Amino acid sequence: MNKLDALPNILLLGPGPSGTHPEVYRALTSPTLGHLDPVFISLMDELKGMLQQLTHTRNEVTFPVSGTGSAGMEAGFVNFIEPGDSVLVLINGVFGMRMKDVAERLGARVDSLEFDWGTPVDPEAVKARLATRSYDLVAVVHAETSTGVRNPLDEIAPLVRASGALFLVDSVTGLGGIPVTLDDWGVDVFYSGTQKCLACPPGLAPFSASPRAIKRLQNRRGKVPNWYLDLSMIVNYWAGEKRAYHHTAPINMIYGLHAAVRVILEEGEDAVIARHQSAHEALVTGLEDLGLELLVAPGHRLPMLNAVKVPEGVDEAGVRAAMLRDHGIEFGAGLGPLAGKIWRIGLMGHNARPEVVSRCLEALGACL
Amino acid sequence: MNKLDALPNILLLGPGPSGTHPEVYRALTSPTLGHLDPVFISLMDELKGMLQQLTHTRNEVTFPVSGTGSAGMEAGFVNFIEPGDSVLVLINGVFGMRMKDVAERLGARVDSLEFDWGTPVDPEAVKARLATRSYDLVAVVHAETSTGVRNPLDEIAPLVRASGALFLVDSVTGLGGIPVTLDDWGVDVFYSGTQKCLACPPGLAPFSASPRAIKRLQNRRGKVPNWYLDLSMIVNYWAGEKRAYHHTAPINMIYGLHAAVRVILEEGEDAVIARHQSAHEALVTGLEDLGLELLVAPGHRLPMLNAVKVPEGVDEAGVRAAMLRDHGIEFGAGLGPLAGKIWRIGLMGHNARPEVVSRCLEALGACL
User: Residue A255 falls within a domain, yes or no?
Assistant: yes
Between CA B104 and CA B87 the distance in angstroms is: 9
User: Residue B119 falls within a domain, yes or no?
Assistant: yes
Between CA A344 and CA A287 the distance in angstroms is: 12
Domain with B342 in it: 8-17+269-367
Average pLDDT over residues B267-271: 98
Domain boundary residue, one of A207, A234, A265: A265
If asked whether residues A183 and A288 sit together in one domain, one would say: no
Q: Which of A4, A65, A192 to mutate to test the interface with B (most CBs of B within 10 A)?
A: A4
**Which member of A3, A19, A107 has the closest CB to residue B43?**
A3
CB atoms inside a 10 Å sphere around CB A137:
25
The predicted-structure confidence for B121-150, as pLDDT tens digits, reads as follows 999 999 999 999 999 999 999 999 999 999
Phi-psi sector, B207: left (phi>0), alpha (psi -120 to 50), beta: beta
If asked whether residues B213 and B339 sit together in one domain, one would say: no
pLDDT below 70 — which residues of chain A?
1
If asked whether residues B248 and B318 sit together in one domain, one would say: no
Per CB-CB distance under 8 Å, the chain B contacts of A12 are: 32-34
If asked whether residues B245 and B284 sit together in one domain, one would say: no
Calculate ∠ Cα A306-A312-A315, nearest 5°: 75
User: Residue A2 falls within a domain, yes or no?
Assistant: no
- Is A4 in contact with B30 (Cβ distance < 8 A)? yes
**Which member of B8, B27, B46 has the closest CB to residue A39?**
B8
Per CB-CB distance under 8 Å, the chain B contacts of A27 are: 4
Question: Helices marked H in A268-328 — which ranges?
Answer: 269-289, 316-327
State what percent of residues in chain B have pLDDT above 70: 100
Task: Chain A: give the shortest CA distance to residue B294, in Å.
Answer: 23
User: What confidence score (pLDDT) does residue B1 get?
Assistant: 60
- Is A330 in contact with B106 (Cβ distance < 8 A)? no
The predicted-structure confidence for B12-53, as pLDDT tens digits, reads as follows 999 999 999 999 999 999 999 999 999 999 999 999 999 999
Between CA A194 and CA A204 the distance in angstroms is: 6
Task: Chain A: give the shortest CA distance to residue B20, in Å.
Answer: 6
Residue of A nearest to B194 (CA): A250
Residue of A nearest to B335 (CA): A245
User: Residue A3 falls within a domain, yes or no?
Assistant: no
Residue of A nearest to B74 (CA): A228
pLDDT confidence bin for B3, thresholds 50/70/90? confident
The predicted-structure confidence for B324-338, as pLDDT tens digits, reads as follows 999 999 999 999 999
Domain boundary residue, one of B221, B238, B265: B265
CB A165 within 8 Å of CB A88: yes
Per CB-CB distance under 8 Å, the chain B contacts of A8 are: 31, 33, 39
If asked whether residues A247 and A297 sit together in one domain, one would say: no
Number of A/B CB contacts below 8 angstroms equals 215
Helix axes B316-327, B354-367, angle to 10 degrees: 120
Does the bond joining B158 to the residue before it have cis omega, within 30 degrees of 0? no
Task: Chain A: give the shortest CA distance to residue B13, in Å.
Answer: 9
- Is B255 in contact with A4 (Cβ distance < 8 A)? yes
Q: Which of A43, A45, A101, A227 to mutate to test the interface with B (most CBs of B within 10 A)?
A: A227
Q: Domain with B175 in it: what CATH number?
A: 3.40.640.10
Per CB-CB distance under 8 Å, the chain B contacts of A20 are: 31-32, 252
**Which member of B10, B35, B39 has the closest CB to residue A37?**
B10
- β-bridge pairing B342-346 and B305-309: antiparallel
What ipTM was predicted for this assembly? 0.98
Between CA B180 and CA B178 the distance in angstroms is: 6
Per CB-CB distance under 8 Å, the chain B contacts of A250 are: 68, 201-203, 253
Between CA A17 and CA B251 the distance in angstroms is: 8
If asked whether residues B227 and B317 sit together in one domain, one would say: no
Q: Can you say how many angstroms the Cα of residue B282 is from the centroid of all Cα atoms in its chain? A: 23
**Which member of B39, B98, B246 has the closest CB to residue A227?**
B98
If asked whether residues A128 and A232 sit together in one domain, one would say: yes
Number of domains chain B is built from: 2
Task: Chain A: give the shortest CA distance to residue B162, in Å.
Answer: 30
Task: Chain A: give the shortest CA distance to residue B124, in Å.
Answer: 31
Measure the N-to-C terminal CA separation of chain B; round to a whole number of Å: 36
- Is A17 in contact with B37 (Cβ distance < 8 A)? no
If asked whether residues A280 and A172 sit together in one domain, one would say: no
User: Residue B3 falls within a domain, yes or no?
Assistant: no
If asked whether residues A184 and A301 sit together in one domain, one would say: no
**Which member of A10, A34, A98 has the closest CB to residue B14?**
A34
User: What confidence score (pLDDT) does residue A3 get?
Assistant: 86
Does the bond joining B17 to the residue before it have cis omega, within 30 degrees of 0? yes
If asked whether residues A240 and A155 sit together in one domain, one would say: yes
Between CA A66 and CA B83 the distance in angstroms is: 26
Q: What is the pTM of this model?
A: 0.98
CB atoms inside a 10 Å sphere around CB A105:
19
If asked whether residues A249 and A278 sit together in one domain, one would say: no
The predicted-structure confidence for B105-123, as pLDDT tens digits, reads as follows 999 999 999 999 999 999 9
Domain boundary residue, one of B265, B299, B320: B265
Task: Chain B: give the shortest CA distance to residue A63, in Å.
Answer: 15
- Is A12 in contact with B35 (Cβ distance < 8 A)? no
Q: Which of A223, A249, A232 shows the shortest CA–CA distance to B103?
A: A223
If asked whether residues B178 and B56 sit together in one domain, one would say: yes
Question: Is residue A353 classed exposed, middle or buried when 0-12, 13-18 and 19+ CB atoms within 10 A define those classes?
Answer: middle
Per CB-CB distance under 8 Å, the chain B contacts of A335 are: 245
Q: Which of B193, B198, B334 shows the shortest CA–CA distance to B267?
A: B198
- Is B71 in contact with A67 (Cβ distance < 8 A)? yes
- Is A107 in contact with B225 (Cβ distance < 8 A)? yes
User: What confidence score (pLDDT) does residue A359 get?
Assistant: 98
Per CB-CB distance under 8 Å, the chain A contacts of B27 are: 4
User: What confidence score (pLDDT) does residue B357 get?
Assistant: 98
User: Residue B185 falls within a domain, yes or no?
Assistant: yes
Q: Domain with B296 in it: what CATH number?
A: 3.90.1150.10
User: Residue A4 falls within a domain, yes or no?
Assistant: no
User: What confidence score (pLDDT) does residue A1 get?
Assistant: 60
Indicate if the pLDDT at residue B216 is higher than 70.
Answer: yes
- Is B248 in contact with A193 (Cβ distance < 8 A)? yes
User: Residue B354 falls within a domain, yes or no?
Assistant: yes
Half-sphere exposure at residue B70, Cβ-oriented, CA atoms within 13 angstroms: 24
Indicate if the pLDDT at residue B305 is higher than 80.
Answer: yes
- DSSP one-letter string for A63-115: EEESS-HHHHHHHHHHTT--TT-EEEEEESSHHHHHHHHHHHHTT-EEEEEE-
